[in-house]
Amino acid sequence: MNNKKFVRIVAVVLALLMLLSVLMMIVFETTASARVTQGQIDQLRNDKRDLERQKREIQSKINTIEFERMKEIEKKEILDQRIVLTGLEIENINSIITQYNILIREKEYEVFLAQGREEAQLEKYRSRVRAMEENGLITYLEIIFDSTGFSDMLARIDFVTDIMRADEGAYLSLIDARNETEAAKVNLELAREEMDTEKAYLEVKEAELLEQLEEAHELIKRMEQDIDSERQLRDQVKAEEDRVQKEINALVAELARQQELERQRRLAAQQNRGSSGAGTSSGTITGTGELMWPTSGSVTSPFGVRRHPVFRDMRQHNGIDIGAPHGATVVAADGGTVITSTYNSSYGNYIVISHGNGMTTLYAHLSSRSVSVGANVSKGQQIGLVGSTGISTGPHLHFEVSVNGQRINPTSRL
């Protein structure tokens, strides 16, 4: 009876070990990226150090006498650069925190598996002890002293030695399993501590960003109050708007020319192969003509004649302003090709997308741009983040729509 019970215990232990082995194989497939994740964290930290270096260079410019002698619009550009870098730092830290969340989940699972192995090893050791008790095994000394002769005693000593080695091996395996569990717990705690450090650093950077935004907005307010600066800035903004629209028209025409050449090249190549002409697409994305909202928020300034928020005069507003918090996601209103992704003193960071059929959209005052010229983007794809770069009195998205070179009311297509 005791032997049957012992066999059942051993069978259960073996079944548990087999289950743990299967689970380990599954989790290995899903968590094999743990080392990669740590590598990603290290790379993100390298990026963070690079951003900090760039920030120091910008701050050194701000701290010079030459900065004070600059025109207000030049100062705003430098302040915008610092704001953009701080925003990138915040994105970087959020990415690190995301990676730590993944790493912590992996470490928690490692602890779970290590504890399972420890429990299984402990059960094996307990089963060994219970088996000895239940079967009434005599002590090692009794085995030796009950020998019938010297040769028999030597044989019994070898037998006892084997038993002792087996017992010692079971005990050492238990200790190894316990040490593995403790090491997994230590690694988990280290990951949690490092994530908490990054979260604290994030709070510092977010507060720093608010101070920098306030400083930039105060600069705009001072420009409003200076009549000469206000007049020069107003003329500059108008000139920039006209220049950008002319540039958009030229880029749209050039893109259409390149696409037509590519279409003709593909058609000629297929005719030479004697094909039916299927698959003559140039690989570019053409929009649907129906636009989606590029960011969440309501219109704070409509299209048409309005009082300018900075210059306080009545003038044509060539787009709509959508109120949104700093760092909110900006998406492509329709599919198309990026023809502009740059910075100027009026629009700040801005992007222009050509959607085909003569339509373009413009996204201005971005805190960051995530697409470059030539990129094909799909409708709803993230292209940047809301900001307050350029001539802006607060975070928002300035959104323009042009059809055949003429700006139209964006809400007519939304």
The pLDDT of residue 338:
96
pLDDT confidence tier of residue 143, bands split at 50, 70 and 90 = low
pLDDT tops 60 at residue 168 = yes
Bigger pLDDT: 77 or 169?
Answer: 77
Among 222, 257, 289, give the residue marking a domain's end. Answer: 222
Among 202, 222, 242, give the residue marking a domain's end. Answer: 222
Bigger pLDDT: 146 or 340?
Answer: 340
Task: Give the Cα separation of 197 and 199 in Å (integer).
Answer: 5
Domain ranges, residue 297? 227-412
If one counts the domains in the chain, the total is 2
Task: Give the Cα separation of 262 and 117 in Å (integer).
Answer: 62
In a shared domain, residues 298 and 188: no
Query: Of 19-33, 128-142, 259-273, which range is least confident?
Result: 19-33
In a shared domain, residues 258 and 379: yes
pLDDT confidence tier of residue 61, bands split at 50, 70 and 90 = confident
What's this model's pTM, rounded to 2 decimal places? 0.68
- What's 389's domain CATH number? 2.70.70.10
Q: Are 277 and 304 in contact (CB under 8 A)?
A: no
The top-scoring range by mean pLDDT among 151-165, 282-296, 337-351 is 337-351
Bigger pLDDT: 177 or 136?
Answer: 177
3-class secondary structure per residue, 248-271? HHHHHHHHHHHHHHHHHHHHHHHH
Residue 13: CB atoms within 10 A of its CB come to: 16
In a shared domain, residues 192 and 216: yes
The top-scoring range by mean pLDDT among 63-67, 152-156, 269-273 is 63-67
In a shared domain, residues 111 and 231: no
Q: Are 114 and 181 in contact (CB under 8 A)?
A: yes
Among 157, 192, 222, give the residue marking a domain's end. Answer: 222
pLDDT tops 50 at residue 33 = no
Task: Give the Cα separation of 183 and 280 in Å (integer).
Answer: 60
pLDDT one-digit tens code per residue, 276-297: 444 444 556 788 889 999 999 9
The pLDDT of residue 235:
74
The pLDDT of residue 378:
95
Task: Give the Cα separation of 57 and 326 in Å (integer).
Answer: 24
In a shared domain, residues 242 and 176: no
The pLDDT of residue 171:
65
Helix (H) or strand (E) holding 386: strand 382-386
pLDDT one-digit tens code per residue, 372-397: 999 999 999 999 999 999 988 889 99
In a shared domain, residues 258 and 147: no
In a shared domain, residues 209 and 239: no
Query: Of 68-82, 146-160, 214-228, 380-394, which range is least confident?
Result: 146-160
